[in-house]
Amino acid sequence: MPQSTLGVLRLHQRDVHIDARERFAAHAASRVGSDVLVLSTCHRVECYVAIPPEVDELAWMRDRVLGTNDGHVPVVEETGEAAVRHLFRAAMGLDSVVRGEGQILGQLRATYDAARERFPLDPVLNEVVQHGLHIARGVRSSTSLGQVRSSVGSLAVETVVACLPDPSTATVLVVGAGEIGRLAARALISRVGAVRIANRDAARARDLASAIGAIGQGLDDLDRAVGDADAVISAADTRGALLTEELLAHRLMRGPLVLVDVAVPRSIAEPARALPGLTYRSVDELTSVGGAVHDHDVVLAEERCVEEARGFIRSWNGRAATPTIEALSQRADAIRQRQLDRAFSKLTHLAARDRRVVEALADALTGALIHQPIVSLRDDPNRQDAARALFGLKPS
């Protein structure tokens, strides 16, 4: 049967402002399904789409994801091998702001697992993500990509430390104990005077705090935590509901405050970002300090992505020809067996060893004769009708 083609519509920090990514992320979340997988992180929003056969791929994909927003979102569009290659590059961290960072691998895995719990994903989405995760783990374990420790969390820490007059005496509050918050808190503990962690699940905040020597709490006493802080790293999807303009204005009455907002959508509403005395930075304003990845390893990883994408597409497309290949093999086997039976009926004097030699010869000849047609069908499944006519097989 005809199979889906992989496509991707994506926005990245290098292409558009965070405002556009926030709007696209909100819209894309409403389009998810068995044929659409949405990977949304601090720096990117990517919609991986299973495009059905025999359609205008780009037009169908835009309509499926963008709908009435078509033409208003400056997305990058790719299909087929280019889309597969991009997913592999993303999984390896090659498309990240911090080149080679490993956080994206966990984000892709979490997105994939969450989608599978909700929908029976199209086979092309299932297989391409699984393959991407597999090769990314292998490349990271065998190259310097696996040595990169920088992340969005560590970039937020660098920004906070640079903005504080005396980090060694400062108290920094981290809102959110998810992956980014955890990375930020661990990077902060040796750089500032004290670290507090506030999270909706207070037990999770306390567990993290206990492991690194910080103070953990729930969100019920956030006012006091912000009041005691010299800086805040917000890594929670609160969309202005917690770090309100009123709360921040009250805190700023006692002095300046640094606030680094790494959540997307941003956790600080627009009016609050311009409060006097507030030094506000969004995720787009964080500067990468580079990683430990070697240029040679990046080149090898890029080449691996190209090779793996090409191989995946060849293998995936080849599956469309499976029914014809199976029919051809079965017909060849039937002919082989019929001719052997006819020959052995006339060669009754052959010993068992000689019969096995003749059978092996027949097997080898049959395999050799159908090998090239099978390879050609896998390379170009569109040849199925011609192959069925040529070898006398029933039409598919």
User: Where in the sequence numbering do the catalytic residues fall?
Assistant: 42
Place of tokens 């009708």: 385
Task: For residue 80, give Cα distances in angstroms to 53, 377, 379.
Answer: 12, 19, 15
Closest CA to 96 of 65, 129, 61, 140: 140
State the angle between helix axes of 81-91 and 295-319 in degrees (0 to 180), rounded to the nearest 10: 140
User: CA-to-CA distance for 162 and 192, rounded, in angstroms?
Assistant: 11
Longest Cα–Cα distance of the chain, Å, equals 107
Q: What is the DSSP string of 120-186?
A: ---HHHHHHHHHHHHHHHHHHHHSGGGG----HHHHHHHHHHHH-S-GGG-EEEEE--SHHHHHHHH
Closest CA to 196 of 182, 214, 210, 179: 214
CB atoms within 10 A of CB 176: 26
Q: Which amino acid is at 190?
A: S
User: CA-to-CA distance for 280 and 41, rounded, in angstroms?
Assistant: 20
Q: Which token pair is 311?
A: 């191989």
Order the strands of the 76-79 sheet from edge to edge.
36-40, 44-51, 5-12, 76-79
User: CA-to-CA distance for 64 and 84, rounded, in angstroms?
Assistant: 19
